[in-house]
Amino acid sequence: MLKQLWIALTNRGVVGAPDTLPPARMNITGKPVLTAGRCTACGDCARACPVSALRIVGEESSGGRGRTLEFSAGRCIGCARCIEACQPNAIAFLHGTETWRIGADDEWRSIDTREGK
């Protein structure tokens, strides 16, 4: 908890900082993750998505913290247009084996956050 808070605090203003993560390649199998602190919930990715697999939820509150990005794995066709549209380079797809879901998959879920430097 404290660690996450620390990451969130230290990553503020990471936009435009030298990227120490591997470049966002168009690897679209697996599940999407956001690099901590980078997503500004601007909605560019949701607008770029041709199958509406991304959406912004929540109301704008002070500092823009009320808005978050949600993802529907069952809708995503892996065209990587969100990766291209994302100015702060926040979205990446990580290969993982546990992508299955029980039942029909048309649910919206918030996206996991990974640590970034």
Partner 1 sequence: MNRLEEFLTAWRLSPAKDSPVDTIVADIEMDRLLEVAAAARRDHEASLAMMTALDLLPESPRFRLVVVLHVPGEKRYLVLRAPLSADKPEFPTLTALFANANWPEREIRDMFGLTPVGHPDPRPFVWKGGWPRDLAPLRKDVKLDRAYPVERALFPVTRVEGEGVYEVPVGPIHAGIIEPGHFRFQAVGDTMLAVDAQLFFCHRGIEKMAEGRDPSAALLLAERQCGTCSVSNALTFCQAVERTAHVTVPARARALRLVVAELERVYNHVNDIAAIPGGVGFAFLGNQGLRVKEEMQRRLRALCGHRFLRNVLVPGGMRQNFDDAALQKIAEEFEGLWKELKKPVKIALDHSIFLDRLETTGYLTTKNALALHAVGPAARASNVAADTRLDHPYDAYAELGSWKIPTRQEGDCMARFRQRIAELDQSIEMLKNAAKSLPAGPVHEPVGRPAAGAWAIGATESARGENMLLVRFDGNGLIGRYAVRTASYCLWPCVPTTIRGNIVPDFPLINKSFELCYADVDR
Partner 2 sequence: MAIHLEKIEFPLPHEPADTEALRAMLGSLHFRHLDVGSCNACDNELIALGGPHYDMQRLGIDCVASPRHADVLMLTGPVSRNGLVAFYETYTCTPLPRLVIAVGNCACTGGVFAGSYAVFDGARDVVSVAISIPGCPPAPDEILAALTAGLRAYAALQKTTS
Enumerate binding residues for partner 2 (CB under 8 A). 28-30, 50-51, 72-78, 95-106
Span between the terminal Cα atoms of the chain, in Å:
17
Which residue carries 């084996």 as its tokens?
97
Q: How far is the CB of 45 from partner 1 (least distance, A)?
A: 15
Please tell me whether residue 26 binds partner 1 under the rule CB under 8 A: yes
**In this structure, how many other beta carbons lie within 10 angstroms of the beta carbon of residue 104?**
7
Which residues, at least 6 apart from 88, have a Cβ–Cβ distance to it below 8 Å? 14, 15, 16, 38, 39, 40
Q: How far is the CB of 97 from partner 2 (least distance, A)?
A: 4
Among partner 1, partner 2, none, the one that 4 touches (CB under a kind-dependent 5 to 8 A) is: none
Please tell me whether residue 18 binds partner 1 under the rule CB under 8 A: no
- Report the interface residues with partner 1, using CB under 8 A: 25-29, 50, 77-80
